[in-house]
Amino acid sequence: MVTKRNLKNIPKEWIPQDETKYDLDWADLTNIDISTFDKPGGKEKLASQLKIALHKDGFWTVSGTGISEEEMNRSFALGEFFFNNYSEEEKKLQEVNFEEGNYFGYKIKGNKSVFGTDVPDNVETFNIAKFTKQGFFEEFFKQDFIKEYREELEGISRKSFEVARKLFVLFALILELDENYFVDRHLYDDQSDDHLRFMKYHPREKEEDDRVENTWARGHTDFGSLTLLYNQVVSGLQIRLSNGEWKYVPSVPGAIICNIGDTLNFWSGGYFKSTIHRVVRPPPDQVDAPRIGVFYFVRPGDNTKIEIAESPVLKNLGLYRKIKPIVGTDYVRSRVKDYHDKKDYLKQNNVKFRLGEFEIEDGFE
């Protein structure tokens, strides 16, 4: 039986972990302030600022999002509350179904091993579908946490998506396409595998981390179009540069960390970089802190055709070619199933995932 809870039971203020005092090897990421988006010439200037980052790094940060730091803190408080105050039975009312490539629902920690050892994974996640009136999603919303805090959760979901919408306009401008080219292929009210995610990495004993090379999440690219991560104070997220070096993603208070996913890499003929990234054991002054994450993952519409965009920029660079398109849901479900429908997160050294004429490097350790 689910115990009814009241909003006042959730901490009114999220108190984040102190930032690390260790001088880590930080990535130098571009930041754009999208509060200027609607000003005359604002979109064009932002697109110019972002262009190199999309091609070179695939990661950047966004400030001026219209999501206040108070709202971000509340999002973390909700995530922490879900993981800490609901029983395993309650959490598992909706579970992910990796066998079908379905990400929606809850994933328990420790149900997979890492790198062929008996060390279990240390992450639990809860993926919440978009708040739209489509049959499957209405079924999903029977989960008590969703029902009790639906208004706030929907607010997080929709505000995050609005940030993504503005970024899609910038991507189109960079490729000299109609500014709604990507917007029209990622509509909130269209059925897709978009999801709001709460994620919790649980601290591990040093001996266990040593056995898996301090890996909390193996190197991977993101499967959809765009990922938004509310600023993460607990260090550990790293990106792999083109020279093979790993760099830590820095904390930027009040900002959102963004990265390109595989489908935008496909749409841009590889011009937009879907960067391999991983999570490693945090530095000593943060290693005992549970690492709560709040994400929004944007996927193409289920029936959207993904093909290289007929962009003047891509044509001039020799990146455009006519190929047989793949369909949004086919790609996303196949990718999720390929990556997650297994009992062990093995190393993926230079392995490629292929579907039709598209391929992506699956991982690198």
Model pLDDT for residues 23-36, shown as the tens digit of each residue:
999 999 999 999 99
Name which residue leads in pLDDT, 13 or 18.
Answer: 18
Q: What is the mean pLDDT of residues 122-149?
A: 80
Percent of the residues in the chain that have a pLDDT greater than 70, as a whole number: 89
Domain 31-363 CATH superfamily: B-lactam Antibiotic, Isopenicillin N Synthase; Chain (2.60.120.330)
Tell me which amino acid residue 252 is. V
pTM for the structure as a whole: 0.93
Whether 230 shows a pLDDT value over 70: the answer reads: yes
DSSP E strand stretches across 18-174: 31-33, 59-63, 105-107, 113-114, 123-129
Tell me which of 202-211, 229-238, 341-350 is least confident: 341-350
Matching residue, tokens 């479900």: 333
Output the pLDDT for position 283: 98
Q: What mean pLDDT is predicted for residues 329-334?
A: 80
Q: What is the C-alpha to C-alpha distance for residues 151 and 157, in angstroms, rounded to an integer?
A: 10
Taking CA atoms, 214 is separated from 201, 206, 360, in Å, by 13, 8, 25
Share of the chain above pLDDT 90, in %: 65
**pLDDT class of 347 with cuts at 50, 70, 90:** low
CB 59 within 8 A of CB 249: yes
